[in-house]
Amino acid sequence: MKFAVWLPLLIPLLAVPIARGVTARLSPRTAAWTLGACSVLLGACSTASLGVLALGGALQITPIAALEDTSPRLLGDRTPLTLPAGILAAGLLVAAAASAAVVAVRNWREVRAAGQAAGDTSGELAVHPDERPYAYALPGPFGRRGRIVVSTAMLRSLNAEEREVLFAHERAHLAGKHHLFLTCAHLAATLHPMLRGLREPLTYALERWADEAAAEAVGDRRLAARAIGKAALAAVVPAGRPRLVPGATCGPVPRRVAALMGSGSTRAVGPRDSRRRLVAALLISCLALSAASTLHAASELHNSVEIAESRSGVR
* 181 has a pLDDT exceeding 80: yes
* 207 has a pLDDT exceeding 90: yes
* 84 has a pLDDT exceeding 60: yes
Cα separation of 136 and 159, whole Å?
18
Q: What amino acid occupies position 183? A: T
Please answer whether residues 111 and 245 qualify as being in contact, where contact means their C-beta atoms are separated by less than 8 angstroms.
Answer: yes
Burial environment of residue 80 by CB neighbours within 10 A (0 to 12, 13 to 18, 19 or more):
exposed
Cα separation of 93 and 99, whole Å?
10
Cα separation of 136 and 313, whole Å?
63
Query: What is the average pLDDT across 302-309?
Result: 71
Cα separation of 258 and 265, whole Å?
9
Cα separation of 209 and 219, whole Å?
15
pLDDT of residue 212: 94
Beta bridge partners of 135: 150
Please answer whether residues 260 and 225 qualify as being in contact, where contact means their C-beta atoms are separated by less than 8 angstroms.
Answer: yes
Cα 177–chain centre separation: 13
pLDDT tens-digit readout, 60-76: 777 766 666 565 555 65
Cα 34–chain centre separation: 10
Where are the alpha helices (H) located in the chain, listed in sequence order?
A: 7-23, 28-58, 62-66, 82-118, 152-157, 160-175, 178-191, 199-218, 221-234, 253-260, 274-314
For the chain, give every domain's residue range.
4-314
Query: What is the average pLDDT across 50-59?
Result: 87
pLDDT tens-digit readout, 211-233: 999 999 999 999 999 999 998 88
pLDDT tens-digit readout, 86-132: 899 999 999 999 999 999 999 889 888 888 877 766 678 888 898 88
Smallest CA-to-CA distance from 214 within 201, 230, 227 is with: 227
